[in-house]
Amino acid sequence: MEIKLQWKNKARWATCATLMVGAAAFSGNALALPTFARQTGWSCATCHTSYPQLTPMGRMFKLLGYTTNNVQRQQKLEAKFGKSTALLLMRLSQFSVFAQASYANVAGGQEAFNGAGVSNPPGNQNDIQFPQQVSLFYAGEITPHIGAFMHLTYSGRGGFAMDDSDFRWAHPWSFGPGQLLITGVEVNNTPTEPDIYNTVPDWYAPFSSSKYSAIRQIPTTFIEGAHGAGYPLVGVGTYEAYIFGPNKANWIYFEADGYTNADGIGAAANSGGAFGYGNDGRMQGVAPYVRLAYQRDWGNWNWEVGTYGMWSHLYDSPNTKGGPVDSFDDYDLDSQLQWLDTADNSNVTLRADWIHEDQTFGPGSAISSTTTGNLNSLNINGAYWLHDHYGVSGGYLDTWGSANADLWGTGYSANGSPDTNGEWIEASYLPWWNTRFSLRYTLYNKFRGLTNGAVGPEKASAYNTLELLTWISF
């Protein structure tokens, strides 16, 4: 669910960037939804090591369309038509609330982002967010095969917007004792949202950050930025999970979606109102997304390796259907290793993902003077949880690619370079499993091309960030 900001400098992209900051604030983290706990009677820790990191049981719950439940018969409304059941509807109202607050301290102050040409500095000596975001969910079974994860988020001045959400229809098919096929059809608004692994952009670590953190200012690939509220898309797709072998030893996960604008193109089509978040969903045609992953389970361990691709064509102008078209082709390799002591609620998860993006800018592009470019994002991290109360996590972030002063800007950057790398470490404490306090420090060796050897105030270390993050759900 972590979203970072890209494309900030060009005036034409100012709105887009603002909205993506908004998207970043909306994104935060997710799951361990109390509504799921109410529906199943199972604690957060059965499906998560610590939200939003899923366990195999959580993956199965998601694959089955959030429909697993342990409610009594009388807690469902059965509408009969003759002898057949026309509708079997949950009587429970499945609402949950997430609230987050944060404090961020950037070493160089928020002024460090006020470089020349930056049109939307993230804040002006403002580093507290209360609330960082408040999310309202309606999530769980609607009817026995249809479930929803509907996520609406308020983030202060960003207002309300749809955050990453999906509706899905799932069905299990048995092919004998050792084989299970789960098929699903879903509608979602964020690429990678339907996924079951925490190595994809919508669900990868670090899971939450203040919008005043420097991590929000690292250039991102298109798929990392194409998030819910910040980039109104609609995706329709299907997923299949084939689980076979003794003790669910082998999982193959396949997903295919097509994404296009959720709300038309152009300022008039989707501006204004509490839910009108501008005009930056401007796909030309449909962007296909294809995902394939394999998971191997043995004993208390499970290991995943996967890949995906997404091919997006965008109108260069945010408001106009027509004109130059830019292409962003994203390719990923990712892997996750997890050890679970299920009887003790202690666990380790190691994650890695690498995204490579090829960029092509149409003739006459106003956002890039070069015709091609590329961007890479490497995210390696891990977490250890003791009894799901005490956690230590950390990781290495690396972004590198073509310098592009038009696209990435020259403010707080060395000649439009996106190159950034650094390390982060985080300590967390959950007094209860719905309440989390985290303290994170992120140290940059390089930030948008700036190094620590640079002369003057613009150096990578000015963006080192200390964050205090709090979270409660109910």
From the CB of 144, what's the least distance to other proteins, in Å? 6
Q: Which candidate, 265, 256, 253, 203, places its Cα nearest to that of 228? A: 203
Residue selected from 41, 264, 272, 457 as contacting other proteins according to rule CB under 8 A: 41
Nearer to other proteins, 73 or 157 (CB): 73
Nearer to other proteins, 136 or 181 (CB): 181
Residue selected from 6, 15, 69, 428 as contacting other proteins according to rule CB under 8 A: 69
**Does position 61 bind other proteins by CB under 8 A?**
yes
**Does position 46 bind other proteins by CB under 8 A?**
yes
Of 35-43, 129-137, 147-155, 274-282, which part binds other proteins (CB under 8 A)?
A: 35-43
| Residues whose CB is less than 8 angstroms from the CB of residue 292 and which lie 6 or more positions away in sequence, other chains included | 252, 253, 254, 306, 307, 308
Of 103-111, 269-277, 295-303, 319-327, which part binds other proteins (CB under 8 A)?
A: 295-303
DSSP sequence for 196-215: SSTTSTTTPSS----TTSGG
Size, binding site for other proteins by CB under 8 A = 43
Supply 312's token pair. 């997006």
Nearer to other proteins, 56 or 108 (CB): 56
Neighbouring-strand partners of residue 440 = 426, 467
Cα diameter, the chain: 81
**Does position 43 bind other proteins by CB under 8 A?**
yes
Which residues in the 225-284 window bind other proteins by CB under 8 A? 243, 245-249
Amino acid found at 459: K
Nearer to other proteins, 183 or 271 (CB): 183
| Residues whose CB is less than 8 angstroms from the CB of residue 100 and which lie 6 or more positions away in sequence, other chains included | 28, 29, 129, 131, 132, 133, 134, 208, 469, 470, 471, 472
Which residues in the 138-167 window bind other proteins by CB under 8 A? 144-145
Of 57-65, 200-208, 314-322, 355-363, which part binds other proteins (CB under 8 A)?
A: 57-65
**Does position 340 bind other proteins by CB under 8 A?**
yes
Of 71-79, 281-289, 330-338, 441-449, which part binds other proteins (CB under 8 A)?
A: 71-79
Nearer to other proteins, 248 or 313 (CB): 248
Question: What's the CA gap between 253 and 148, in Å, rounded?
Answer: 20
Of 96-104, 170-178, 271-279, 381-389, which part binds other proteins (CB under 8 A)?
A: 170-178
Alpha helices of 203-334 — where are they, by DSSP H? 222-225, 267-270
From the CB of 90, what's the least distance to other proteins, in Å? 12
Supply 63's token pair. 């694959």
Helix, strand, or coil (residue 82): coil
DSSP 28: S
* Tokens 């295919």 sit on residue: 256
Residue selected from 12, 14, 57, 275 as contacting other proteins according to rule CB under 8 A: 57
Q: Which candidate, 196, 120, 160, 126, places its Cα nearest to that of 25? A: 160
Residue selected from 11, 82, 93, 176 as contacting other proteins according to rule CB under 8 A: 176
Question: What's the CA gap between 55 and 201, in Å, rounded?
Answer: 18
Q: Where are the beta strands (DSSP E) in 177-324?
A: 179-188, 233-244, 250-261, 287-298, 301-315
Residue selected from 86, 116, 174, 456 as contacting other proteins according to rule CB under 8 A: 174
Residue 294 has phi, psi (to 5 degrees) of -125, 135
Residue selected from 12, 171, 296, 356 as contacting other proteins according to rule CB under 8 A: 171
Residue selected from 77, 79, 80, 85 as contacting other proteins according to rule CB under 8 A: 85
Question: What's the CA gap between 353 and 29, in Å, rounded?
Answer: 18
**Does position 346 bind other proteins by CB under 8 A?**
no
Question: What's the CA gap between 169 and 185, in Å, rounded?
Answer: 5
Cα 448 to its chain centre, rounded Å, is: 22
Helix, strand, or coil (residue 20): helix
**Does position 343 bind other proteins by CB under 8 A?**
yes
Of 60-68, 125-133, 252-260, 418-426, which part binds other proteins (CB under 8 A)?
A: 60-68
Residue 175 has phi, psi (to 5 degrees) of -120, 40
**How many other C-beta atoms lie within 10 A of the C-beta of residue 119?**
16
**Does position 67 bind other proteins by CB under 8 A?**
yes
Nearer to other proteins, 42 or 160 (CB): 42
**Does position 376 bind other proteins by CB under 8 A?**
no
By CB under 8 A, name the binding residues for other proteins: 40-43, 45-46, 56-57, 60-61, 64, 67-73, 85, 88, 144-145, 171-178, 180, 243, 245-249, 297, 299-300, 340, 342-343
